[in-house]
Each structure stands twice: as structure tokens, then as C-alpha cells.
A and B are shown apart, each in its own frame.
Chain A
Amino acid sequence: MTFKIGVVTFPGTLDDRDAQRAVRLAGGEAVALWHADENLHKVDAVVLPGGFSYGDYLRCGAIAAQAPVMDSIIKAANGGLPVLGICNGFQVLVESHLLPGGLIRNEKQHFICRDQKLVVENIDTAWTNQFTLNEEIVIPLKNGEGGYIATDETLKRLEGEGLVTFRYKDVNPNGSMNDIAGLRNERGNVVGLMPHPEHAVEAGFGPDMPGTMRSGVDGLKFFTSVLNSLVNA
């Protein structure tokens, strides 16, 4: 059977088409979800893609978190629906309180765009089960407000409970506390990260890898992971 992965489009979303393509390359069926429609159309999982929803007005992700589709996604996520937030989608997850903390302007104030090395530190999630523990991956990063921040108490809890899912390796590009690039919730169905796995899913279009240009496809495992978790659900 083919699983349906919903990809939400907010006004100002940029990477919805890339996320849909990543879903298809992994073997799933991509279903477009619209911000103003609370109907999730019976999808088996949801991707909140990157971009600048609502022009980043107020705070990145803050207005999107109030959209009708998010009411349904928050309820479904609390019931176990797999949800992946990428970049602006991560900001939406944080603003929706599905993940703790906040994201602020990059430490050095520049918009950063680079192929970023990450360490996968948690593979017990719907979106990372096809990685090996502590696997190093390279996927593109592009953000202006990607500095992860949380209270000392929250950081202690995230580290203590092993909820840090991705950590920046070699370079911390945006001043994120504890080099945090991505997180999971307690249940492991909700994952958010700043870098963009959907841009590293097909040879010829991914990040440069040693010896071969644009050959990186490490992002594909996010999408095969969720399909795997649905098979085993």
C-alpha cells in the first residue's frame, strides 16, 4: 500500500514542491495541504516545509501556528501522527508548542546557505529510524533565524532525555545552543530541524560530497524512515 504524506502550503512557503518530490522519490504519495483548510485529507504523516510563512511577520512561524490546518495538525500530532518540520516548519512546530524552545536571528546576523554536516543523535523517531546512531550526514542549510535557544531547564531536559536529534558538526552556523540542529518530542513522532533534507534526495541535485559534485542524498532517509514507521505501525 502507498502511504499518503501531506505537505502544508502556507502563504510564503517555498519548499513545498521540493518536499512533495522527496516524498515521491522515497515511495510515498504526496498530498498538498492548504493552510486555510483544517481537513488533513486522511494523510498518514505531515511535512511542514521551509520558506517564509506569512512573511515572517510578528515572529517566524508565529502566525502559521494559528492557521486552521495547524489546529488539526496539533491535535493529530498529540495523537501520534508523524510530523516533520523543516526550517520554517521547525519554527512553526516551536511556535505551536509541539517542540520546546525558540529560534532567533543567526548569531552573526548573516543569512547562511551551506552544505551542513550533522550528526544524527537519535534514531528512535518516525523520521530517523533508517539512520544509524551517530551517523554523519550532509544536507543543505539555509536560514536567517536559525539560532536555537531554550531555558537552561529545557536544555537540561532535552539533553537528559536524549531529545536532541541532530547536532551541527564542525561548524555551528547560527549560534544554536549546544549546537542543536534538530529535536524530537517525547513520543518520537514529531521532529523538527533547521537544515533541509528535501534538498538532498536525488543524485545530481544534492549537496557536494567528497569526490562527487551534487551527489548527496542523505535527506532521503527522513522520508524512507517515515514510510518504514508507517509499515510497522
Chain B
Amino acid sequence: MPKIIVEVMPKEVLLDPAGKSVNNALHRSGHNDITAVRIGKRIELHFDRPVTDADLAEAQKIGENFLSNAVIEDVVSVTVQN
């Protein structure tokens, strides 16, 4: 199925409490080489036809304006899987 995959991450400068909790749990189970965990979102936009460049440009816009909040998050990638 053709799809566009949008990935959103909390901004680097922000404390990510969920990631921090997971990191603490990993340390408790001995994974001490992992220094930090950050948790973001992967959002898939599905199509029943091939994805065009226009779709991709629109997805970029949707990603920046709706799927993420620029105050707290960054869109780190928008990719096509045809």
C-alpha cells in the first residue's frame, strides 16, 4: 500500500519525561551503555494510488501544521513508500 511516513520528535532541548522513564528502566535492567532515550511519533498516511510529489509537499505541510506543534516538536522526516 502506498504511504507517506511522517516522523515527529520532541525538540532536542526539551525534557522528554517518557523517554527518561524508559531510559531509567533500561538502566535498571543493565543496559548501561544506553545514555538516553527519546520517544517520538511515526504517522503513516495511506493512499490507494501511487504517491505524487504534490502529495509529499502537502504531507510536509500537514506535518508541520497539524501533526506536530512547532513549539515542542520537530518533523524529522517525511518519506514515501510506494
Contact = CB atoms under 8 A, between A and B. Distances in A.
Contacts, number: 31
A149 B72 contact: yes
A104 B18 contact: no
Given A58-B67, A62-B66, A66-B66, A107 B72 contact: no
A104 B72 contact: yes
28 contacts: A58-B66, A58-B67, A62-B66, A62-B69, A66-B66, A95-B69, A100-B71, A101-B71, A102-B71, A102-B72, A104-B10, A104-B14, A104-B72, A105-B17, A105-B18, A106-B17, A107-B15, A107-B17, A108-B17, A109-B17, A109-B18, A109-B21, A149-B71, A149-B72, A150-B71, A151-B71, A154-B71, A175-B15
Interface string A105-137: 111110000000000000000000000000000
Interface of A (DSSP majority class): loop
Contacts of B69: 59, 62, 95, 102
Nearest to A100: B71
Nearest to A108: B17
Interface in B33-82: 66-67, 69, 71-72
Contacts of A66: 66
B14 A149 contact: yes
A16 B72 CA distance: 28
Nearest to A95: B69
A102 to B, nearest CB: 4
Contacts of A107: 15, 17
Contacts of A59: 69
B1 to A, nearest CB: 22
A189 to B, nearest CB: 22
Interface string B4-45: 000000100011011001000000000000000000000000
Give the most central of B10, B15, B71: most A CB within 10 Å: B71
Contacts of A101: 71
B29 to A, nearest CB: 19
A109 B10 CA distance: 16
A213 to B, nearest CB: 34
Give the most central of B15, B66, B67, B69: most A CB within 10 Å: B69
Contacts of A150: 71
Contacts of B71: 100-102, 149-151, 154
A27 B14 CA distance: 43
Contacts of A102: 69, 71-72
